Structure 1
Amino acid sequence: MGPPPVVTGISPKEGPPGTRVTIRGEFLGISATDLVGLKICGCDCLLSAEWKSINKIVARSGPCKGRGDIIVSTRSGGEGTSTVQFRGYHESIGPVKESAVWVEEAAPPPLPWGRRPMSPTAYTPPDPLGLSTEGDECKFPEEDLNELFPEGSGKLSDENFQPGWYLLEHHSNTSFEDLKAGMVFLQRKVESQKEGQLSFLKANTGAVMDQLDRLVLLKNMYEEDHRKNGKEPLPSLQAAIEESISLADSLFSEILSRKANADKTREALSLLTRHKFLFQLPASIDKNIRKKEYDLVVNDYTRVKNLFGNTDVKLFQKILDEVDKKIEELKDNLYKRIKSMPCNVQEQTKYIRLLISLNWEGDAAWVAITTRKEYLMSLMNKVRDHFKQKEEQENGEKGKRRGRDAVGGESDTCAVRSAWCACASGALAGELHALWPLARRYFAGDLAGEPNEPRRHAELKEMIIAAVELFSEHMRACLLSSGSSSNMGLEATRSRLLSNLRHLREAYESLIKLDLPSQPLSIVEKVIFEYRVHGMTLFLQRAHKQVKSLADRETWKIVQYSDYGAITNLPSLLETTMEECLSSIHKCVLASGRRESPLLAEGSEPLNILQKHTQQILLAFVSVVEKLALHSEDADFNHSSLSVALEQALEEAEGGARTWQQRLLISAANAQYTRRVTLNNIAAVFDSNGFPKPTLALTTTKEALSNLESSIAETYLEQKGDPLVDTIEPSMYMGRSKIDPDTLVDDARPYVYEIINNLIAVHAEVDSICGCGSSRYVRDICEIVCEEVARLSACVAPHSRATAFRARLECGLLRLATANHLTRKAENYLAQSLSGLPPLDNADDKKHLETAMQRFKKRMELQLVSLNCNVETV
């Protein structure tokens, strides 16, 4: 739609009905056919309007009265406005007033001397009071006046004239002072007419004498003619005329015949010259068609149809038939041009208007709309087929180089898919930007056709939805299929994902600008949302795959010593992997575009996917730690004594390798560190990236890690504690030496020292890996040792004084050596082993026991410090 018309000037500014008015302004129509309405003071003047230019119209005013606006209406701009006004008024036509209309005749009142004119004329007499009635409007309807004066009339010439009627009809708005002045005027006029005929003759003596002289002259001329020609002069005059005609014919017959031929020739040449436009029209049409100046062809054809459309001249009809044939060929050519694609919408609109101007039978605009829809569908199918073929070629080449550059092949496939997405998005946006405005103009009535047909609206909606659904189907096949993922690097994956999202959003934004209905927009928005979910899933699957492969990246190199033991880079790799994954999701797919749904709305399916994959990733890490700890092929635990263990540890440190028990302890430290530190860091990463905290996944993973720590501890105790306990009984009875029942021993048997040395070896190994967490393992092994000692003590025969003293000494030394690692349960075991012994009541025996323990402490000071870390704490 163009701007509405605006009238800014008129000339003249007032006049009676039929006044030629020149109207000036802006946007008064782009052609004569564009002008659809013209009102001057409320009167329709379109029939008399002559469109001159976009700024000028000439028309004649209608039967309007009073002031009013000039309203111009055009097809392109609608109804306009006016900044000026025209005043119309009605004139009273008298006998000496020039008029373009016929004035009805009626007998005027008799002249003072009783004569009537030969051709009386009916005219509206001037107001008898000498007052102007222009602009006065009767406030009393004729029905009310008839009721007031049932037998009267307001006309001055009627016999039943009533002055009251006349005054109410013509002077209802006149002031009393003006009526008094009118009364004086009427009295003076009546007095002047009372002078009579004599005064009239005195005033017009000269005119009366001239009339008498003319009458006498006319009488003399008539009598002279009667003497010369008689009473009937016509027969003699007729005979003379006929004689002259026959004589002239005889003299000039040949000349007249040649003149007739010359006139015919001249008439034919004049006809050719006058209708030169018609005779040259066929050649002109051919020339303009070759030059593609179709507007000139339409104008010439419309003009010739208006001039010669109803002619009966056979020559003209023959030429018109030839012109019609060429116009039909032009219509076919224009129809083919509308159907031929690609074609920009401006050219297509031009061809539509030409066909409408040529009265083409059919709905040219609807043909153009359906053609564009079919072209859009075929274009997207061609794009799909092209990139499918290109992808197959890439896959064929990848198969040839398989094993050499598989990742490069995946990258090529993704590049093809990305180009497919960009091309399809551009095709959809570009063609809909041509189709939708064309359809809107069609339904607005700018392109004729059947815009008000309800089925047209439904068909157009189906067209748009079909095109958008086809685009969505292709994009799902392009971006959401299994072939769209790749083994490329993280940055390459991010770049591809952002590029594809940008193309989809550009297409979606272009559809929003077109103000399309919500249904096709929701289809494209759903594809974008699904691709965002796909991108998030892709990053999560990539992280899951990386975490599952962490077992191959474990070097068992200690990177830090924490409160939970020696830590390798495994927890850090988990944290880095999750951070990269969440950062990629936040950067690429989390942010919602214009009119897009939030990705991780509460209770949404994408949020469930994120939580589910997060749990799978964390549990996969637990599986990796479990595999590294419990499923090692190197299952040969070191069950040797302290010296042998230290020797082997030195050899392994020099060789850079770690035993299974060391890897088991490192795995336990990694699990505990992950449970207490790494998972909290991962939760912080979720929060910093704007993701909901994965409470369930973290809780489940912590439980799994806790269970894994328990399994590792049980495995370590099973493999390390059982062999140590198995050596107690053989060492306790080694040699079967007998003691004097009454002689107190000064030292414990060797098995006590072997237990202490083995505990020192375990403590040294665990402390080197677990640090502060080593007490758990030493405590559990001490508990097992105390239980075994209690069992063996219960199996001994009744004690003598010497054996009871020895048993008390050995239990005291064990308690002294393991004081910092004894649990309540272990204390109970030691107390249980002493419960069957007789009490130590002799003071000398107590002193002897104390002396033996002091010697033991002094002799085993280094061992006690090694086991308890601080001798003063023992």
Structure 2
Amino acid sequence: MGPPPVVTGISPKEGPPGTRVTIRGEFLGTSVTDLIGLKICGCDCLLSAEWKSKNKIVARSGPCKGRGDIIVTTRSGGEGTSTVQFRGYHESIGPVKESAVWVEEAAPPSLPWGRRPMSPTTYTPPDPLGLSTEGDDCKFPEEELHEMFPDGSGKLSDDNFQPGWYLLEHHSNTSYEDLKAGMVFLQRKVESQKEGQLSFLKANTGAVMDQLDRLVLLKNMYEEDERKNGKEPLPSLQAAIEESISLADSLFAEILSRKDNADKTREALSLLTRHKFLFQLPASIDRNIRKKEYDLVVNDYTRVKNLFGNTDVKLFQKILDEIDKKIEDLKEKLYTRMKTMPINVQEQTKYIRLLISLNWEGDAAWVAITSRKEYLMSLMNKVKDHFKQKEEQENSDKGKRKAKEAESAGAGGAWGVRGAWCAAACGALAAQLHALWPLARRYFAGELAGEPAEPQRHADLKEMIIAAVELFSEHMRSCLLSGSSNKTLPTDALRVRLVANLRHLREAYDELIKLDLPSQPLSIVEKVIFDYRVHGMTVFLQRALKRVKGLGEKETWKIEEFSDYGAITNLPQLLETYMNEALSAIHKCVSSGGRREAALLVEGAEPAAALHKDVRSILLAYVTVLENLALNHDDQEFNNNNLSVALEQRVAPGSSSRSWQQRLLLAGANATYTRRVTLTNIADAFQNFGFPKPTQALQATKEALSALESTIAETYLEHKGDPLVGTIEPSMDMGRHKTDADVIVDDARPYVYEIINNLIAVHAEVDSVCGAASVRYVRDICETVCEELARLAATAPAPPDPAAAFQARLEYTLLRVACAEHLTRKAENHLMEALAGIPPLESEEEKKRMDSIVEGFKKRMELQLASLNCNMETV
């Protein structure tokens, strides 16, 4: 950049518009092209400027008025400054102003800078009387003046000027004295002009002499021409003109033809230049389409339609037809791209607006909405088919592996496929609805519709959304609520998978809530989530049921604990563990609801009823396991002749190899412990997790366990008590079964001691397992023994002598003393029946002898009796 221009002097310093002004200064431009601006008093004078040098410029002033700066602008230095000012003024020449040259009254030609000076018609001459007309109102309308002076005029410059018209128009209110004074003024002015003729001629001598010279020259030229050509020169002039024309035609025919061609070419080029936009538009459209600058295409097409839409020029029409064809191809292209999925919403919206701008016939936005809905449906089906095929491939590969590897990897792989399916379907639904729903809302708001949307389309859109959500629901039910892959999946992996799938469903549900969808499609997804939560609860309970049913295979008959209800194995603890794990998994995974989700386990609701039903199945399955363990046995043979042999074959308490009768007693102890302790703990677990208490399931289980305990007791009595009772009668008949009348009876026969020893053996066996609960089994056996003794006493003949009667009474009394702590009312009645058939003791001596023998028996059998009567607390 060079230094800015500076104006330091001008000549002249003032003048009317069109004054030739010489501008001097510094840095006024390096060339003609470097001068790009010139303003005089704010008027642009660049068109009249002539650049002379870097220090001088000549220009004509514009229609400026007043003082102002001269500002020069150059390409090299920019806008300059001025140290001097030019004053412009407007000069008007009227018909009464003296002038040395002729002044045309018509409008003068345009000035060189394209502007016209003040028109003479707008000039108002001063009043010739020298009077002010300001404030005078014309009392005579123009129509009346025309009637008074039909051939006159009130303008001073007109040939038919009428003074009366002028005075009526301008001085109707002027007083007579003023008019007389005006007359004097006019006379003095005329006289002064007459007196000043000589001075005027002196001031304009040059102009007058020039005019005289021109007149003399014109006269001489006229006389010379008359001598040469005569008084009638026109015929010869015409002949000369015609000759010159023919000669010119012969000389310049070829040149003129070339000129015509050049003129035509010039006109064509001018036409191309003027309509360059139209002729270049087809190529421009192709170029912008390749660049994907569709907005430029639409703007150019709209512009050309506005400019040439109604043209009658065939060439223009031909070009417009070609442009229309390209635009139609573009419409089809945009329409195809708008429908081709996948496509983001912004790009699709852009295509919709372009189609509307191009006046595409149809509802582009609705087509886009329909396309997105169809794409969503097809995408859901593709996701389903893809993961179904992948799952089949997983199962096929599983069949080719080894059994153990397949079991460990196959289930996880199948569940992995299902989990990926759920995640992909949820993501697809949320993403596509996140694009479809805002697009539809903008459409119904009128932002994307060329025409108002039809009312029916609101219902159509709702059906679209519902159809898509229902398809998603159907697929998710097929994916998550069916299949058997979860049967072999580890519990922790199953819990992780259920939580992940539920998270995917809830994320999709939250996205739909953010879109502010109608309640009906939201309720469909919510129902899927709710059903999946119920399914998860059922899965955990079914797994617990399966594990409980397999408890029989895990029973080792190893005593884990001695409780108040006897020795128990690990079965009650495993039942409680399985239930707690199932309830904990349900609480962590599916119990708690998400946003807008209903509570799962509401008292009286269907899921709570299903929970209670499954819990009942689990607990009753446990009862069935105990029953099978207790009653299904292989070693049912007892040593019916000598029970002590069976007792000698007992296994140590910590051993896992036990006899059937020990397993029977352990099963009974497990049943009692479960009924009294485990079920209470399970009920507390339900309360701790906030679940409805399964009262009916617990009550049914207690009843089933009580029945099982009774069955176990009856079975044990059948297989243990009956052989014991069966030995009584043979033992009575063996050895000394006859009593001599002369022999003094001082002790019971051996069968009594055998019965006592057998009862002690049974008590020891039951007590080793059942503890305090063993009294039930001993009482039942004692009751059976007493019943058998009463039956034998009833069938035996009466004692033949007093000694035999004393013997029988002594034996029954000793048995009663030995079993006193285990005798029930029914057993007492049986012994009383047996004693009722024996004659009573008659003498005091016999009574004392009986008491003495009984006391001796107690002292002699103190250890045995203590063993038989220990642990007699009531359970």
Provide the rounded CA distance (Å) in 2 between the counterparts of 1:617 and 1:501: 26
Tell me the residue number matched to 2:669: 669
| 2:636–2:719 CA contact under 8 A, matched in 1 | no
Tell me the residue number matched to 1:474: 475
CA shift in 2, pair 1:271/1:843, >3 Å: same
Matches within 5 A, 1:380-779: 380-401=380-401, 403-407=403-407, 408-639=409-640, 641=642, 643-649=644-650, 656-735=656-735, 737-741=737-741, 743-779=743-779
Matches within 5 A, 1:45-56: none
Letter matched to residue 552 of structure 1: E
Provide the rounded CA distance (Å) in 2 between the counterparts of 1:214 and 1:323: 80
Tell me the residue number matched to 1:185: none
How far apart are 1:737 and its partner, in Å?
4.3
Task: Encode CA deviations 1:748-784: one digit per residue, 9 max, x unaligned.
Answer: 1111100100000000000000000011111111111
| 2:772–2:871 CA contact under 8 A, matched in 1 | no
Provide the rounded CA distance (Å) in 1 between the counterparts of 2:305 and 2:684: 84
Task: Encode CA deviations 1:356-383: one digit per residue, 9 max, x unaligned.
Answer: 1111112111111111111111111111
CA shift in 2, pair 1:525/1:211, >3 Å: farther
Letter matched to residue 701 of structure 2: T
The 3-state SS of whatever aligns with 1:561 is: strand
Provide the rounded CA distance (Å) in 1 between the counterparts of 2:356 and 2:705: 80
Task: Encode CA deviations 1:408-441: one digit per residue, 9 max, x unaligned.
Answer: 2122111111111111111111111111111111
Tell me the residue number matched to 2:351: 351
CA shift in 2, pair 1:303/1:470, >3 Å: same
CA shift in 2, pair 1:306/1:847, >3 Å: same
Correspondent of 2:140 among 88, 112, 115 = 115
Task: Encode CA deviations 1:785-838: one digit per residue, 9 max, x unaligned.
Answer: 112222222334334322232223222211221121111221222222222333
Provide the rounded CA distance (Å) in 1 between the counterparts of 2:188 and 2:271: 56
Task: Encode CA deviations 1:16-74: one digit per residue, 9 max, x unaligned.
Answer: xxxxxxxxxxxxxxxxxxxxxxxxxxxxxxxxxxxxxxxxxxxxxxxxxxxxxxxxxxx
Provide the rounded CA distance (Å) in 2 between the counterparts of 1:336 and 1:245: 77
| 2:571–2:670 CA contact under 8 A, matched in 1 | yes
How far apart are 1:852 and its partner, in Å?
1.2
Task: Encode CA deviations 1:528-584: one digit per residue, 9 max, x unaligned.
Answer: 122111111111111111111100000000011111110000001111111111111
How far apart are 1:339 and its partner, in Å?
1.8
CA shift in 2, pair 1:304/1:616, >3 Å: same
Provide the rounded CA distance (Å) in 2 between the counterparts of 1:196 and 1:639: 170
Deviating more after overlay: 272-281 vs 721-730: 272-281
Matches within 5 A, 1:15-54: none
Provide the rounded CA distance (Å) in 2 between the counterparts of 1:601 and 1:298: 62
The 3-state SS of whatever aligns with 1:482 is: coil
How far apart are 1:204 and its partner, in Å?
6.8
Q: Which runs of 5+ in 2 are unaligned?
A: 1-121, 123-134, 146-170, 195-231
| 1:442–1:451 CA contact under 8 A, matched in 2 | no
CA shift in 2, pair 1:202/1:470, >3 Å: farther
Deviating more after overlay: 500-509 vs 758-767: 500-509
Provide the identity percentage: 67
Deviating more after overlay: 245-254 vs 351-360: 245-254
| 1:789–1:833 CA contact under 8 A, matched in 2 | yes
How far apart are 1:644 and its partner, in Å?
2.3
Letter matched to residue 826 of structure 1: A
The 3-state SS of whatever aligns with 1:649 is: coil
Tell me the residue number matched to 1:855: 856
CA shift in 2, pair 1:463/1:240, >3 Å: farther
How far apart are 1:117 and its partner, in Å?
4.8
Letter matched to residue 176 of structure 2: L
CA shift in 2, pair 1:320/1:760, >3 Å: same
| 1:564–1:771 CA contact under 8 A, matched in 2 | yes
| 1:442–1:449 CA contact under 8 A, matched in 2 | no
Deviating more after overlay: 603-612 vs 551-560: 603-612
TM-score scaled by length of structure 1: 0.71
Letter matched to residue 444 of structure 2: F
Provide the rounded CA distance (Å) in 1 between the counterparts of 2:318 and 2:235: 46
Tell me the residue number matched to 2:803: 802
Tell me the residue number matched to 2:824: 823
Provide the rounded CA distance (Å) in 1 between the counterparts of 2:660 and 2:242: 149
Provide the rounded CA distance (Å) in 2 between the counterparts of 1:243 and 1:312: 51
Alignment root-mean-square deviation, CA: 3.4
Letter matched to residue 447 of structure 1: L
| 2:558–2:654 CA contact under 8 A, matched in 1 | no
The 3-state SS of whatever aligns with 2:650 is: helix
CA shift in 2, pair 1:214/1:602, >3 Å: farther
How far apart are 1:301 and its partner, in Å?
1.0
Tell me the residue number matched to 1:306: 306
How far apart are 1:637 and its partner, in Å?
3.2
| 2:771–2:871 CA contact under 8 A, matched in 1 | no
Letter matched to residue 400 of structure 1: K
Matches within 5 A, 1:85-96: none
Deviating more after overlay: 395-404 vs 581-590: 395-404
Task: Encode CA deviations 1:184-220: one digit per residue, 9 max, x unaligned.
Answer: xxxxxxxxx998633664797799779999999xxxx
Task: Encode CA deviations 1:273-303: one digit per residue, 9 max, x unaligned.
Answer: 2222222212211111111111111111111
| 1:742–1:801 CA contact under 8 A, matched in 2 | no
The 3-state SS of whatever aligns with 2:332 is: helix
Provide the rounded CA distance (Å) in 2 between the counterparts of 1:493 and 1:245: 121
Provide the rounded CA distance (Å) in 1 between the counterparts of 2:581 and 2:614: 15
The 3-state SS of whatever aligns with 1:849 is: helix
Letter matched to residue 829 of structure 1: H
Task: Encode CA deviations 1:462-495: one digit per residue, 9 max, x unaligned.
Answer: 2112211111111111112234533110011111
Letter matched to residue 784 of structure 2: I
Correspondent of 1:198 among 143, 165, 176 = 176
Provide the rounded CA distance (Å) in 1 between the counterparts of 2:565 and 2:321: 105
Provide the rounded CA distance (Å) in 2 between the counterparts of 1:586 and 1:788: 58
Matches within 5 A, 1:147-162: none
TM-score scaled by length of structure 2: 0.71
Letter matched to residue 383 of structure 2: V
Tell me the residue number matched to 1:81: none
| 2:559–2:654 CA contact under 8 A, matched in 1 | no
Tell me the residue number matched to 2:285: 285
The 3-state SS of whatever aligns with 2:487 is: coil
Provide the rounded CA distance (Å) in 2 between the counterparts of 1:505 and 1:242: 113
Provide the rounded CA distance (Å) in 1 between the counterparts of 2:856 and 2:138: 180
How far apart are 1:500 and its partner, in Å?
1.2
Provide the rounded CA distance (Å) in 1 between the counterparts of 2:242 and 2:375: 80
| 1:560–1:567 CA contact under 8 A, matched in 2 | yes
| 1:748–1:806 CA contact under 8 A, matched in 2 | yes
Provide the rounded CA distance (Å) in 2 between the counterparts of 1:213 and 1:728: 189
The 3-state SS of whatever aligns with 1:485 is: helix
Provide the rounded CA distance (Å) in 2 between the counterparts of 1:262 and 1:207: 69
How far apart are 1:634 and its partner, in Å?
2.4
Tell me the residue number matched to 1:378: 378
**1:783 pairs with 2:803:** no
How far apart are 1:249 and its partner, in Å?
10
How far apart are 1:247 and its partner, in Å?
9.9
The 3-state SS of whatever aligns with 1:459 is: helix
Letter matched to residue 301 of structure 1: Y
Deviating more after overlay: 616-625 vs 340-349: 340-349
Structure with larger Rg: 2
CA shift in 2, pair 1:778/1:309, >3 Å: same
CA shift in 2, pair 1:204/1:576, >3 Å: farther
Tell me the residue number matched to 1:838: 839
Letter matched to residue 763 of structure 2: H
Provide the rounded CA distance (Å) in 1 between the counterparts of 2:840 and 2:185: 184
| 1:411–1:486 CA contact under 8 A, matched in 2 | no
Provide the rounded CA distance (Å) in 2 between the counterparts of 1:486 and 1:243: 131
How far apart are 1:715 and its partner, in Å?
0.5
